[in-house]
Structure 1
Amino acid sequence: MKKTGQEFLKKTQYPYLEPSGQMMGIPQPPVELPCPGNGEAIRLPAPASVTVPHIDLRDAILHRESRRSYRKEPITLDELSFLLWCTQGVKREVTGEYTFRTVPSAGARHAFETYVLVNNVEGVAPGLYRYLAIEHLLAEVSAEPGITNKIFHACLYQQFAKKNAVTIIWTAVPDRMTWRYSERGYRYLFLDAGHACQNLYLGAEAVGCGVCAIGAFDDEAMNQILGLDGETQFVIYIAAVGKITTRIT
């Protein structure tokens, strides 16, 4: 009997795929989920207006590493705006159909939503937000005082996950991908997550921040915290961000 991972690889090969929703003429899912709740919405500084220190790409790649120790210094709203733009920023939208972003995605499906746990950002109240990439703003999801601890626990008590300035949580909306690629689209979700997180690592090098990707987390607990059902939307990847002690010059 094949193990689960082997079975996944086998059954997502082309000979096993059923016709996709696109092939059957089913309307595609929306390119972005609706704005959550009636909480505060924060307009982020326009990416083009944010001044980013120059850093050589070779140096950014050379010095990129997972950093688990951060200063208590907050990151600025400009820096957060830049990092979110690096990971899911919209360069162009074909209204209602697809978007071109700062990261690659299979078929330009961009099946992620980005949640941002703010612990220490200048001018932003701590809490859980969602990044609305098309409008480039933050929408408040929860201001619950204990939400940082809940996410820390769901990240299996990794200490840096509660001593950071920001935790970025990517969730996948699989229908957005499988509409075109059937069950093989699940493979592409995980590939795309890597693209987004690597951009975060490289962008962080330019603004004196460190990043540590988190793949070890309690899936059910994380989905529950975000109010997700774990099927039509689920947490796929997490990253801690904070100011580092030294800066590349």
Structure 2
Amino acid sequence: FKTVPSAGARHPLETFLLIQRVDGLDIGLYRYIGPSHQLQNLRASDDINRTLASTCLQPELIQNSAVTFIWTAVAYRMTWRYGDRGYRYIHLEAGHVGQNLYLASQMVGCGTCTTAAFNDDDLNRTLRIDGNDHFAVYMGAIGK
């Protein structure tokens, strides 16, 4: 069960997290594994926070966050059913996920800023995704 609307229940989005200041978690890049509700530590380099910040047009957004969510899309999950229109639905879903992040952040007394102002190629490369079939669409930084 997911709390984000999805066209045709296709759920094309994946979630990566840059953890910087979260109690109980080591600093690093993680991937959320939905079916098991777990975080997978991707064992990124020690400077992953600087590398990810450099992909963003407002690097301080990432540098100052406690955690940054990065949403990527697996295009086939939408396009097999909706063709090219699936790309439109992917971006709508990114907006839904971002809104949920704002609501959750408000509940725990944190500030949030979402953006798509990043260099796509650099971010995709940093996340080790191909940028065609699987690509970054949105990010949200949280902090106090």
**TM-score with structure 1 length normalisation?**
0.57
What aligned pairs does 1:85-234 form with structure 2 within 5 A after superposition?
91=1, 101-234=2-135
Aligned-pair identity in percent equals: 49
CA distance in 2, matches of 1:123, 1:203: 19
Q: CA deviation at 1:161?
A: 1.4
Does the 8 Å contact 1:126/1:143 carry over to 2? no
CA distance, structure 2, for counterparts of residue 124 and residue 197 of structure 1 = 22
Question: Which amino acid in structure 1 is aligned with residue 21 of structure 2?
Answer: N
Q: CA deviation at 1:157?
A: 4.0
How many residue pairs match? The answer is 144
Q: Distance in 1 between the 2:83 and 2:44 partners? A: 37
Instruction: Say if 2:13 and 2:73, in contact at 8 Å, map to a contact too.
Output: yes
- Give the residue type in structure 2 aligned to 1:242: G
In the superposition, the TM-score normalised over structure 2's length comes to 0.97
Work out the CA distance in 2 between the residues paired with 1:188 and 1:218.
21
Q: Which letter maps to 1:161?
A: I
Aligned equivalents of 1:141, 1:163: Cα separation in 2 = 21
Determine the structure 2 residue equivalent to 1:96. none
Q: Identify, as 1 or 2, the structure richer in strand.
A: 2
What do residues 187-235 of structure 1 show as CA deviations (whole Å, max 9, x unaligned)?
1000010000001101111101111001110000000000011011000
CA distance in 2: counterparts of 1:146 and 1:184, whole angstroms: 38
Distance across 1 between alignment mates of 2:100 and 2:106: 10
Measure how far apart 1:156 and its partner are: 2.1
Q: CA deviation at 1:142?
A: 2.6
Gapped runs of 5+ residues in structure 1?
A: 1-90, 92-100, 244-249
Q: Distance in 2 between matches of 1:233 and 1:161?
A: 22
Contact 2:19 2:68 in 1 (8 A): yes
Displacement of 1:123 in angstroms is 1.3
